[in-house]
Amino acid sequence: MLHEQERSGVAWALEWLIVPEMFEATGAALNSASGLLGALIGVHRQQFVFGDFFSVLIG
């Protein structure tokens, strides 16, 4: 008989099947975020290089 805070090994094993998919989804999200941040930084660098410094400060 399982106590209230004990869990069966079947549920534990099923949860571990999802871990690789979670890592893949997290990696894809981080890759997308990296691309977005790189694009934003590139836009700000272009504005700075081309003398549009005040528009970057103002918004």
Domain boundaries, the chain: 9-58
In 3D space, the residue among 59, 37, 35, 36 whose CA is nearest the CA of residue 47 turns out to be: 59
CA 15, CA 12: separation in Å to the nearest integer? 5
pLDDT tens digits, one per residue of 5-45: 777 778 788 888 999 999 999 999 999 998 888 888 776 66
pTM score, whole prediction: 0.56
